[in-house]
Amino acid sequence: MSFETIKYEIEGGIATITINRPEVLNALNLQVLRDIIGAVGEARLAEDVKVVILTGEGRSFVAGADIAQMKNFSATEALEFADLGHEVMRQFETLPKPVIAAVNGFALGGGTEIALGCDFIYASSKAKFGQPEVNLGIIPGFGGTQRLARSVGANVARELIFTGSVIDAAQAKRIGLVCEVFEPEALMEKVREKANLLQSVGPLAIAAAKRAMDKGMDMALDAACELEKQTFVALFGTEDQKEGMTAFVEKRKPSFKTK
């Protein structure tokens, strides 16, 4: 499958999606969103892909939406754009494989939202985050009002969204938005190290944990814990559970089969 606005590469079990519009700082338009959805679909079907990395070409991750395209949207066109953005998030969140955002530069507006849709965010020390949509007379449209609060807490999210403030990578780490910050030249190497670590553990277990955590966020605690219990028990019917525990007892590295 070929893509107009992204690069899609697979190496060593890792699929890397690189948004490739550096001339406009990788701003999101309709085609970018469609291409990301297509690439995640490819990664979903590829048995050799265990982890997905999302990043941007050049000095930006995603500097926001393509305002030149958006400014004349009708309400109907805005709905199509928002629907596509939410579908990107749904694809990330339902993918039974870890998704890592490697934020190499500006991640503003839709850039922060897309990073929030990933399972982990690692950032370059030059990265910038923010939801500045209020400065354009709108609000976040890809889930930012919801996922940011779930990530950093309601008070911090309100401050960032209501003021349209932009923060650096160090502050993003302090508030819990970012897992770790690396120097720009080391970012992708470090992210690949994280991706390789994720490949060494049980893939069915990761998929189950991801599903339980995502679904549990919208449940009462008792119901969420029941979901966890049922998911935990179900894994005892898998070959991977038998292999993982046998390998532990035998003091060897497990060989998981995703079965």
CB < 8 Å & 24+ apart, contacts of 37-41: 37/84, 37/87, 37/88, 37/91, 38/1, 38/3, 39/1, 39/3, 39/6, 39/8, 39/15, 40/88, 40/91, 40/92, 40/95, 41/91
Q: Which of 169, 166, 193, 194 is nearest to 183 (CA)?
A: 169
* Beta-bridge mates of residue 56: 19
Which positions ≥6 away from 257 have C-beta within 8 Å? 239, 240, 243
Rounded Cα gap, residues 148 and 234, in angstroms: 32
Catalytically annotated residue among 4, 57, 113, 239: 113
Residue 220 phi/psi, 5° resolution?
-65, 155
Task: Say whether 9 is catalytic.
Answer: no
Helices (H), strands (E): how many in the chain? 11, 10
Task: Say whether 42 is catalytic.
Answer: no
Rounded Cα gap, residues 231 and 213, in angstroms: 11
Say if CB 134 and CB 161 are below 8 A apart: yes
State which amino acid sits at residue 149.
Answer: A
Catalytically annotated residue among 80, 87, 133, 193: 133
Catalytic residues: 113, 133
